[in-house]
Amino acid sequence: MTQTNDVQPKQADEETRAAVLRSALLLCHERGFVNVTLEAIAEGAGVAEDVIAGLWPSKAAVVIEAFSSAIGNRFTSIDTGDFEADLRGQLTAIARIFGDPNISPHLRQVIGEAQHDETVMPAFLELVFGPNRTAAHTLFVNAQRNGQVRKDVDLDAAIDLVFAPFWFRLLLHTGPTDDEYAAAITDLALAGLR
Amino acid sequence: MTQTNDVQPKQADEETRAAVLRSALLLCHERGFVNVTLEAIAEGAGVAEDVIAGLWPSKAAVVIEAFSSAIGNRFTSIDTGDFEADLRGQLTAIARIFGDPNISPHLRQVIGEAQHDETVMPAFLELVFGPNRTAAHTLFVNAQRNGQVRKDVDLDAAIDLVFAPFWFRLLLHTGPTDDEYAAAITDLALAGLR
């Protein structure tokens, strides 16, 4: 009995969470992130708004978790020991995610909203930026350790250098992010301009 | 007489333009780009809203021109023939502009708004991105011609690579843009990670 009581509330919680995330994702596709409200997410999920407010700190946190779950393992950092291949793989994955018309318009709106709504960036940093940054950092540290990245490289600037171009094109709308772009950025970042 | 008639309307136009730009800048500082309206800009400048609508295609165009004028020659591309020094100078200038608390919050809001308001990006591309991109392109082409940048480098990706990190930090709020960061990005972009 004790075991069953422990498990059932968790399952119910998981089902509620999943329904809320599905509702958030659907609403973003229908009306865009800026026009999504907690009330509408609650209605779509068939739960009370209070329940959502108890599980997430903000609308942004719900939506960002919904997109993170949807992207899932499309952006998993793999560390095979071949830095060039791993970097190329990661940049190709990010180029494809940012080039996906089911993702990029929503990601743009989330980051856009973050420029004047202070509840957005903490959720983004915790759920998206933080974990990916940590994984990238491990990859770069290992590459530095085994001589595939120079010892004197400032890793924080180096990680910015390889990922920033994709954000730049996503947010300034100045060009596509595709496999060709990922290849060009990988080559340039490894070899330098000179 | 003809000469006087030709000159006076232009002067009046210039004065109106200057008053409108001053009003737009002041309002952005007071209430933030998203809360600025053409009506308020007109009131602050002491002109009719129609006059502004006749001179600029959108609120975004007025505000972006106001900031471009305010930044003025702080971001002039200089081509001395020493690519490393010129690049370092440009990246230091952009780091300082993006690190300026009188500019960065407004620039963030403009780009943020551009993610769901389609009138913003055309003004930004025409007044800010376009001219700076053309200047950077000339600098890179000359450096490629005189052997300071490799012949096989994709210039469009290369220009993204050096400028994107500053936009990345501005829009994702993940770190400061300062002289030290500009130096790290310059060194990395020139020499590569390997």
pLDDT at B9 over 80: no
Check B193 against A153: CB less than 8 A apart. yes
Which residues of chain A make contact with B145, given a CB cutoff of 8 A? none
Which residues of chain A make contact with B160, given a CB cutoff of 8 A? 165, 168-169, 174-175, 185
Check A168 against B168: CB less than 8 A apart. yes
The alpha-carbon gap from B42 to the nearest alpha carbon of chain A, in Å, equals: 24
pLDDT at B95: 96
Residue of A nearest to B114 (CA): A112
B169 → closest Cβ in A149, A160, A193: A160
pLDDT at B194: 83
pLDDT at A112: 93
Check A129 against B167: CB less than 8 A apart. no
Which residues of chain A make contact with B148, given a CB cutoff of 8 A? 194
Check A115 against B116: CB less than 8 A apart. no
Considering only A82-96, A120-134, A148-162, which range has the smallest mean pLDDT? A120-134
B129 → closest Cβ in A115, A162, A172: A172
pLDDT at A13: 87
Check A167 against B171: CB less than 8 A apart. yes
The tokens describing B58, both together, are 């959108």
User: d(Cα B34, Cα B114) in Å, to the nearest integer?
Assistant: 11
Could you tell me the pLDDT band of residue B2, with boundaries at 50, 70 and 90? very low
DSSP string across B106-171: HHHHHHHHHTT-TTHHHHHIIIIIHHHHHHHHHHHHHHHHTTSS-TT--HHHHHHHHHHHHHHHHH
pLDDT at B147: 94
Q: Which of A33, A115, A177 to mutate to test the interface with B (most CBs of B within 10 A)?
A: A115
The 3-state DSSP class for residue B127 equals helix
Q: Residue A62, Cβ neighbours under 10 Å: how many?
A: 27
For the ranges A34-38, A63-67, A97-101, B165-169, the one whose mean pLDDT is highest: B165-169
A21-50 pLDDT per residue, tens: 999 999 999 998 889 999 999 999 999 999
The secondary element (H helix, E strand) that includes residue B39 is: helix B38-45
Which residues of chain A make contact with B167, given a CB cutoff of 8 A? 164, 167-168, 171-172
The tokens describing A51, both together, are 């329940």
pLDDT at B87: 95
The 3-state DSSP class for residue B192 equals coil
Average pLDDT over residues A85-114: 93
Which residues of chain B make contact with A137, given a CB cutoff of 8 A? none
User: d(Cα B45, Cα B38) in Å, to the nearest integer?
Assistant: 10
Could you tell me the pLDDT band of residue A111, with boundaries at 50, 70 and 90? very high
- For tokens 């702080």, the residue is B74
DSSP A26: H
The alpha-carbon gap from A106 to the nearest alpha carbon of chain B, in Å, equals: 9
The alpha-carbon gap from B53 to the nearest alpha carbon of chain A, in Å, equals: 25
B43-99 pLDDT per residue, tens: 999 999 999 999 998 899 999 999 888 877 666 678 899 999 999 999 999 999 999
pLDDT at A5 over 60: no
User: d(Cα B60, Cα B128) in Å, to the nearest integer?
Assistant: 12
pLDDT at A2: 43
Task: Show Cβ contacts of residue A182 under 8 Å, excluding neighbours closer than 6 positions.
Answer: A88, A91, A92, A94, A95, A166
B112 → closest Cβ in A116, A148, A160: A116
Check A158 against B188: CB less than 8 A apart. yes
A167 → closest Cβ in B114, B172, B190: B172
Task: Show Cβ contacts of residue B72 under 8 Å, excluding neighbours closer than 6 positions.
Answer: none
Could you tell me the pLDDT band of residue A75, with boundaries at 50, 70 and 90? low
Which residues of chain B make contact with A160, given a CB cutoff of 8 A? 165, 168-169, 174-175, 185
Task: Say if residues A42 and A48 touch (Cβ distance below 8 Å).
Answer: yes
DSSP string across B50-111: HHHHHH-SSHHHHHHHHHHHHHGGGG-----S-HHHHHHHHHHHHHHHHT-TTTHHHHHHHH
Check A156 against B175: CB less than 8 A apart. yes
DSSP A154: -
- In 3D space, the residue among B44, B56, B142, B170 whose CA is nearest the CA of residue A115 turns out to be B170
Could you tell me the pLDDT band of residue A8, with boundaries at 50, 70 and 90? low
